Structure 1
Amino acid sequence: MDAGTALPSLAAKTNEAAARRPFSLAARAALTTGLVLAAFLGAIGWTLSRTYAAGELNKLQDRLHDYTITYIAGTDPRRDGTPILPDSPPDPMFAIPGSGLYAVVLGENGFHWESSSALQRDFSFLHPLQPGQQQFIGPVDTELGRLYYYSFGVALDVPDRAPVHLTFTVAQTEEELESNMAVYRRSLVGWLATLGVMLIVLQLLLLRWSLTPLRKVASDMSRVERGNSDHLDSQYPAELTGLTERINAFIESEREQRTRYRNTLADLAHSLKTPLAVMRSQVESSSDLPGATRTPILDQVRRMDELVAYQLARAATTGRQTFASAVPIAGHAEDLVQSLEKVYAAKNVLCEFDIEDGAAFYGEQGDLLELMGNLLENGFKWAGHHVLLVVQMRQQSGRSRPGLSLSVEDDGPGIDEDKVEKVLQRGVRGDERVKGHGIGLSIVQDIVRAYNGELTVDRSPEFGGARFSVVLPPT
């Protein structure tokens, strides 16, 4: 068995969860607002563009109508009924050939008159109108391009003759109308785009301000998780008060339950240990029991005592907690080593530290003492003269609390790879001649597993003995 795979890694699950992470509230609101705003401004732009186009078309019709009336007012018939058109046009563009503004008059008996701008142009698509009849048509595809034209039918009175029927037509290409529309559209798009950007920025600022209480809740939760605060203590809006009160109640309930659990286990330990101690004392002091009977009973009592010690230590392991205080490591490591140096004073073991400044364990203090104490005791037990404790923090972006890397090395005989799995089993000792219950490393495994960590056993590159390494992931 590869010691590096003793406990499963959570990297794959973490990456999968991150890939499925939904949009944030801010992203959802910004996306929704952007889509709604784009649709709204688009509808406004389309409406304004259509309104402007209708207004420009009405203005064109009125202008062509006015030109037509001007031509009609300046026209007089001769005695023979031949109409005389005015010499001065209402607009200089009528005198420029191909200017795009044309005037045409149709009359009876093949009468046809064109302004200078319309000479040599084809206006065969025009038709005479009855007196009083008028029409505005366009755009019409012609050889001159797309035209809008206004026609008006009149009857001019001639003394002692029948009225002269004429149809006055003024036409204009759509170039001017389209040019005005293009200028208006560019201006409209520019202003609407500027307005849209301003509204989006304003919306983002309002959204950021509106979500400030939620960010405050997240920040306070991170402080609680890191152990910098006992509960959420900020003032929140009424909509979040119920949520934060329930979170505080949950935090308090979790801590109270954990305390009651530990107290119950302590009472249970005392209740079981005392009867076992009495039983052992009675059996050892009894003179009525022969040795052949006393020894098996004492062995069973010892095994019961070891089993109770292991199960209580395993049950007392709290494991990874959402709301845990940071437990400094350096001070507790010094206390443990001082105690072990007294116990193993005869071996004259030197324990060195390589502990990162500010290194802390995010969990129960009892779990840290049990984890580090068992590893250090194992190192003192097997070491020749040297033990090394290395502690480093493991930072990871996106995680509120860092992970922990802890290893204990010694200069003892070490552990062969084929014996690692056996040594990590409960109740097994590396050397039966060495005093101990053989449950320390098994307890270490349970604690590491409870914190979703990983325990590996290999050779110390510096001392040549065993190296026990524990890696706890960031949370």
Structure 2
Amino acid sequence: MARPLSLQARSLAAAGLVLAAFLALAFFALDNAFYLAAESGLRERLQGYLYTYLASSDPNRAGALIPPDVGPDSRFDQPTATGLYAGIVGGKVVGAKEKEWRSASAAGRELPFSDELDPGEIRFRGPVATSEGSLFVLSQGVVWNAGAKNELHVTFHIAEDSRALQRQVDVYRRTLATWLGSLGVVLLLLLLGVLRWSLSPLRRVAGDLRRVEHGAQEQLDRDYPIELSGLTANINNFIEAERERVKRYRNTLSDLAHSLKTPLAVMRSQLETGADGKDLRWTVLEQVGRMDEIVAYQLSRAATSGHQTFAAPLPLEPYAEEVVRSLEKVYASKSILCEFDIDPGARFHGDQGDLLELLGNLLENAFKWARRRVLLTAQPQPAAAGKRAGLVVMVEDDGPGIPDDKIEHLLQRGVRGDERVQGHGIGLAIVQDILKAYRGELVVDHSPNLGGARFSMRLAAR
């Protein structure tokens, strides 16, 4: 399977194609402009030659045109193929045969000088293929008053070989191609340098990630451009979340091992002391039940997903309704009314199982201690631009509440599986562990609305 091109190679290839197309269009445009300019210059030069012949010619009293003895350029007067030719057609021209006069350079050659134009008409043609090569031809019709009110109609023709123009164009094209090619190479080298400089932050990110992977550094801690700051911040959050997850697994295994030591020691002691069968049976059943409870608690802790960088936001109301429907069946004899005050914008950014665990433990605790009413409140917390909104969830009941002097003790007791208070410990311990994984906190105080206890989960904006 072919290795995909790097961003630098892709950008350079795309820019190279665009640059090549641009330089090709520039070459075509400049070449065409130069050719038109050279052709215009040639026409103006031929026009100058024609005006010189026109000024040097003069009709005589017999109504014949007397052409000049010397042309405007010495090449007109040479009998060889010099590349410059002149001719006059029509009327009576002194020294002409069959109403056609030619310069010495044009004598005896097959040239396109046969056309007769109307007075004042000018025609420029070329390149015209002839036996003498390709020629540019300028023709102009002229009328003279040749005495006794006679008019003399003649047509002047001036022709020049196109090879001189073609040589100019060829030299220009070679020069232009050399300069544009050199410019293209220089621009590609500059572009390569700019791309390497522009993509260097991405290479630094990749290098830092390799160092993080090898344990050489804790996280991506360099100053990156603003376009990459969001990406690197999310990567750092992801790295931190994974480290916290691994740490939580290790702590859970350690706590599980520590928690199981006591019931195992009790059973071993009973076996070593030779207790009778009935006492041993009840001791084993009691300790096995305790071990089962400890394992269930530690598995709940281990299953906590914790803070997730890329978690989709979950609405609270559907999950709260699902939990409350189940609790109303369990506590049907108490006929508890559970009210919701959930803001539509309240969202939990995390795992669905964690949300159900949090709501389930707090609502179950409220149903257990409430007399008639439970209130669930959820409000989002504002966040800075580009950050996730925070969340505050409060569960209140109208039960006996918790004395202020026991709140701190209660929360501390719920941290470990073998250090819990009956009726509160395991549920609150799970809630605190989940909130710790999400970098939140649990606050317990008095409910001003219902008079019982109020448990508040606070997840800060991130």
Name the TM-score, length of structure 1 as normaliser. Answer: 0.55
How far did 1:184 drift?
A: 0.7
| Whole-angstrom distance in 2 between the partners of 1:37 and 1:51 | 21
Alignment of 1:211-250 (within 5 A): 211-250=199-238
Residue in structure 2 matched with residue 347 of structure 1 by the alignment: none
Matched, 1:102 2:85: yes
Alignment of 1:453-472 (within 5 A): none
SS in 1 for 2:150: strand
| Whole-angstrom distance in 2 between the partners of 1:166 and 1:91 | 21
How far did 1:47 drift?
A: 1.0
Matched, 1:144 2:128: no
Matched, 1:93 2:72: no
Matched, 1:112 2:97: no
Residue in structure 2 matched with residue 78 of structure 1 by the alignment: 60
> CA RMSD, aligned part only?
3.0
Note the alpha carbon deviations across 1:355-405, whole angstroms, 9 max, x for none: xxxxxxxxxxxxxxxxxxxxxxxxxxxxxxxxxxxxxxxxxxxxxxxxxxx
Matched, 1:68 2:50: yes
Alignment of 1:11-410 (within 5 A): 19-96=1-78, 97-108=80-91, 110-123=98-111, 126-160=114-148, 162-283=150-271, 285-286=273-274
SS in 2 for 1:170: strand
| Whole-angstrom distance in 2 between the partners of 1:115 and 1:102 | 6
Note the alpha carbon deviations across 1:103-137, whole angstroms, 9 max, x for none: 11112363111111112211356311122111111
Note the alpha carbon deviations across 1:272-316, whole angstroms, 9 max, x for none: 454345434534553757xxxx9xx9xxx9xxxxxx9xxx9xx9x
- Identity rate, percent: 49
| Whole-angstrom distance in 1 between the partners of 2:214 and 2:162 | 73
97-106 or 274-283, which deviates more: 274-283
How far did 1:172 drift?
A: 1.2
Q: 1:61 to 1:242 in 2, by over 3 A?
A: same
SS in 2 for 1:90: coil
How far did 1:202 drift?
A: 1.5
- Is contact 2:89–2:113 with CA below 8 Å preserved after alignment? no
| Whole-angstrom distance in 2 between the partners of 1:73 and 1:124 | 23
How far did 1:216 drift?
A: 1.6
SS in 2 for 1:153: strand
| Whole-angstrom distance in 1 between the partners of 2:120 and 2:71 | 23
How far did 1:159 drift?
A: 2.3
Q: Which amino acid aligns with 1:156?
A: W
| Whole-angstrom distance in 2 between the partners of 1:238 and 1:287 | 72
| Whole-angstrom distance in 2 between the partners of 1:192 and 1:280 | 92
How far did 1:234 drift?
A: 1.0
Q: Which runs of 5+ in 2 are unaligned?
A: 93-97, 289-294, 303-462
| Whole-angstrom distance in 1 between the partners of 2:2 and 2:27 | 38
Q: RCO (CA 8 Å, sep 6+): is it higher in 1 or 2?
A: 1
How far did 1:23 drift?
A: 1.7
| Whole-angstrom distance in 2 between the partners of 1:126 and 1:172 | 16
How far did 1:138 drift?
A: 1.2
SS in 2 for 1:211: helix
Q: Which amino acid aligns with 1:184?
A: Y
SS in 1 for 2:173: helix
SS in 2 for 1:167: strand
| Whole-angstrom distance in 2 between the partners of 1:162 and 1:287 | 157
Number of residues of Structure 1 aligned to a counterpart in Structure 2: 283
How far did 1:80 drift?
A: 2.2
| Whole-angstrom distance in 2 between the partners of 1:123 and 1:30 | 55
- Is contact 2:87–2:113 with CA below 8 Å preserved after alignment? no
- Is contact 2:63–2:147 with CA below 8 Å preserved after alignment? no
| Whole-angstrom distance in 1 between the partners of 2:159 and 2:112 | 13
SS in 2 for 1:128: coil
| Whole-angstrom distance in 2 between the partners of 1:37 and 1:223 | 38
Name the TM-score, length of structure 2 as normaliser. Answer: 0.56
How far did 1:20 drift?
A: 4.9
Q: Which amino acid aligns with 2:8?
A: A
SS in 2 for 1:264: helix
| Whole-angstrom distance in 2 between the partners of 1:126 and 1:63 | 22
| Whole-angstrom distance in 1 between the partners of 2:233 and 2:29 | 51
